[in-house]
Amino acid sequence: MSDLLDRGKAMLAGTLRASVSRTVTYRRGPLSVSLAATVGQSEMDLLDAAGAAVRIASRDYLLAAADLVLDGETTEPVRGDRIEDARDGAFEVLSPMQGEPDWRWMAGRRMFRIHVKGVE
C-alpha cells in the first residue's frame, strides 16, 4: 500500500510542476535560483484580541524540494528569503500567523508549501 501512496505523491508533485507552474526566482541574499513554482493559498483561523474568530488567507508557493538549490546545495526555505514572480511581484517567506511555520512539507517530503507576504 505504501508503494501506491508513494507513487501518488510523486505523480502529484510532477503534475503540479508540469501543468500549473510558472518560473520564479528564489533568492537568499546574493544567491538565487530560477525554478518552477505553483501559486497556492492557505486559510488559517485565529482569534482576534476580542476573541472573535478571524480567517486569514495566505499566498503560498509550492515547489519541488529538489529544485531549491542555492550555492550548489539543496536547502530548505528560510524566513526572509524572497520569491520574485514576474507576474505578481516580490514576496518574502513569512507565515501570516505568529507561531505558525513559514513552510510545510507536502507530497511525502517532495515539495515545499511556502507561505509568503508581498513586499515592495
How confident is the model at residue 43, as a pLDDT? Answer: 81
C-alpha cell at 82: 524572497
Structural domain range at position 42: 2-119
Q: What phi-psi label fits residue 109: left (phi over 0), alpha (psi between -120 and 50 degrees) or beta?
A: left
> For the segment 15-62, what is each residue's pLDDT rounded down to a tens digit?
666 666 899 999 999 999 999 999 998 887 877 788 888 888 889 999
Cell readout for 107 is 507530497
- 8 A C-beta contact, residue 108 and residue 99: no
Backbone angles phi, psi at 33, to 5 degrees: -150, 140
Residues forming a β-bridge with 104? 113
The residue behind cell 511525502 is 108
Number of domains in the chain: 1
64-81 per-position pLDDT tens digit: 999 999 999 999 999 999
Give the predicted TM-score (pTM) of the model. 0.80
